[in-house]
Amino acid sequence: MAYDNDNIFAKILRGEIPAQKIYEDEYALAFPDINPQAPVHVLIIPKGQYISAADFGAYASPQEITGFYRALSAVAKKMNIEESGYRIICNAGPDSHQLVPHFHAHILGGQKMGHLLATTG
Ligand code: 5GP
């Protein structure tokens, strides 16, 4: 599957769709999810063109992977959920229900997160 240059997050990276920048460096950009599922719900995306967690893990450079994880930590700190805790979710492939085909991590916090998976839905 080829990377789709017209996906929503590619447009956010190019500045064609607005997003509030919570964090940005040479490797990653973080912005609030438009449909938050928790008091803190931030999306973190790499600047490189990777479709999914699987694609990123297989093909991103060590610098890109390190940069991405450093960005995750920086966002947790900036959102004041480092101490209280948070959940990171990355989807890959059809069973995961990934909707946007540009790799992203959801960072969720600000409340007790409950069990790992919902039983339905
Ligand atoms: P996925 O299901 O692909 O892991 O999650 C994609 C996420 O992107 C969803 O939680 C959805 O609310 C969010 N999203 C979709 N379109 C936009 C948008 O235009 N702006 C922002 N900030 N988030 C979006």
In a domain, 1, yes or no: no
In a domain, 65, yes or no: yes
pTM to 2 decimals? 0.96
In a domain, 116, yes or no: no
Instruction: State the average pLDDT over residues 95-118.
Output: 93
* Domain span holding position 49: 8-109
Please give the tally of structural domains in the chain.
Answer: 1
- Which residues are CB-neighbours of 78 under 8 A, at least 6 positions away? 22, 23
**Distances, alpha carbon 53 to alpha carbons 6, 45, 58, 106, 113, in Å:** 19, 10, 8, 12, 22
Instruction: State the average pLDDT over residues 12-19.
Output: 98
pLDDT for 104: 98
Instruction: State the average pLDDT over residues 55-82.
Output: 97
C-alpha dihedral over 50, 23, 36, 12, to 10 degrees?
A: -50
For a mutational test of ligand 1's pocket, the pick from 14, 43, 97, 106, i.e. the residue with the most ligand atoms closer than 8 A to its C-beta, is 43
pLDDT for 121: 53
> Cα Rg for the chain, rounded, in angstroms?
14
In a domain, 49, yes or no: yes
In a domain, 48, yes or no: yes
Q: Which residues line ligand 1 (CB under 6 A)?
A: 8, 17, 19, 31-35, 43, 91, 97-100
Predicted confidence (pLDDT) per residue in 108-121, tens digit: 999 999 898 877 55
Please report, for the domain that includes residue 97, its CATH number. 3.30.428.10
Distance CA 85, CA 48 (A): 28
